[in-house]
A = this chain, B = another copy of it.
């Protein structure tokens, strides 16, 4: 994964509302979750929620599924995991992960 991709996804995740939207979409109680459901769970205008959803869509973090007049959104766990891997790799490459945890040779 390229730096630009990582940065794009990070930026998409860099807003509390969008983290919340991911949680709302992942709610097991609600198998298919549409924009109205998300809006209902937040104190934001529908257009604002739609914009946030677009950011998550463009970052590949969710996927759109048309369901009649509604659009349901599915969290792309693979993509989330991919970022996790890329991030871990990057942090590991940056240097000693936890130097204080390593045995200090006398």
A residues engaging B (CB < 8 A)?
3-4, 6-8, 10-16, 19-20, 22-23, 26, 28, 75, 77-78, 80-81, 83-84, 87-88, 90-91, 93-100
- The secondary structure that dominates the A interface is helix
Please determine whether B97 and A81 come into contact, CB atoms closer than 8 angstroms.
yes
Inter-chain CA distance A12–B10, complex, in Å, is: 8
Total identical chains: 2
Residues of B within 8 A of A98 (CB): 77-78, 81
Inter-chain CA distance A13–B90, complex, in Å, is: 12
Q: Residue A13 contacts which of B10, B75, B88 (CB distance < 8 angstroms)?
A: B10
Please determine whether A77 and B90 come into contact, CB atoms closer than 8 angstroms.
no
